[in-house]
Homo-oligomer: A and B are copies of this chain.
Amino acid sequence: MTAVLLEGLEIVGIFAFAVTGALVGVRRDLDAFGVTVLALLTGLGGGMIRDLLIGATPPVALREWQPITTALVAALVVVVWHGRIGRRDPQILVFDALGLGLFCVSGTIVAAEAGLAPWAAALMGVITSIGGGVLRDVLAGRIPVVLHRDLYATPAALGAVVAATTWRLDLPAVLYVVGAAACVVWRLAAVRRGWSAPRPWGRAVG
């Protein structure tokens, strides 16, 4: 059950992040191949960083065919239909929130199953979910979304903590989905309403 769920989370997360990478590539006026490279890096990068850190080499993205196929399909969809999907920031942010929510949970599960302590697994979940987007933004010369002033890492931390707790206490697997959904909803609400986390003390809110 958890295994099937995990694979599903991973695949949808890869698809969502790869779409954001491809959309950023289209906005940057890259050719079809550059768009594909950025889609692959964004979709597979977070999981590769995770697999490197937990010592699972070669990473799953180089051992199995589903991850790369998913990312390639996402790139193809964007290259062909980006006119309809739109390539403006709102669309990118929605897909990015989806990837964030799915990866913070799946990254935590994978790390916990590799034997890491719950707190370390949750940290890996955050790193996994942030990693792909950071690679995308650094390569595309954008300010990494994690540094934007609205909430980004906080919802990912919530999802990761829910997942680590669920794993540790062996709670029902549906809580993984709840954790991912909570992250996505919180993230999207933060974008839409301009929520921020508490600011460092003693300074005017700019």
Give which listed residue, B30, B59, B130, contacts A149 with CB less than 8 A: B30
Complex formed: what's the CA distance from A152 to B33 in Å?
Answer: 9
A145-171 interface with B by 8 A CB criterion: 146-147, 149, 151-154, 157
Complex formed: what's the CA distance from A151 to B34 in Å?
Answer: 8
Which of chain B's residues have a CB closer than 8 A to the CB of A55?
55, 57-58
What is the interface size of chain A, counting residues whose CB is below 8 A from a CB of the partner? 63
Task: Choose the segment among A8-16, A95-103, A175-183, A195-203 that binds chain B (4+ C-beta atoms closer than 8 Å).
Answer: A195-203
Main secondary structure of the interface of A (DSSP, over half): helix
Nearest B residue (CB) for A115: B58
**Contacts A31-B196, A34-B146, A149-B29 given: A203-B83 contact, CB under 8 Å?**
yes
Instruction: Establish whether residues B34 and A153, one from each chain, have CB atoms under 8 Å apart when the complex forms.
Output: yes
Shortest beta-carbon distance from A160 to chain B in Å: 12
Question: Is A80 among interface residues, defined by CB-CB distance under 8 A?
Answer: yes
Nearest B residue (CB) for A134: B139
Give which listed residue, B140, B141, B149, contacts A31 with CB less than 8 A: B149
Shortest beta-carbon distance from A186 to chain B in Å: 12
Question: Is A123 among interface residues, defined by CB-CB distance under 8 A?
Answer: yes
What 0/1 readout, one digit per residue, does chain A (35-66) give for beta carbons within 8 Å of chain B? 11110100000001000111101110011010
Instruction: Establish whether residues A53 and B63, one from each chain, have CB atoms under 8 Å apart when the complex forms.
Output: no
Question: Is A32 among interface residues, defined by CB-CB distance under 8 A?
Answer: yes
List 4 extra interface pairs beyond A54-B58, A63-B120, A68-B123, CB under 8 A: A31-B149, A33-B154, A53-B58, A139-B144
Measured CB to CB, the residues of A under 8 A from B are 25-26, 28-38, 40, 48, 52-55, 57-59, 62-63, 65, 68, 78-80, 82-83, 114, 116, 119-120, 123-124, 126, 130, 134, 138-141, 143-144, 146-147, 149, 151-154, 157, 196-203, 206
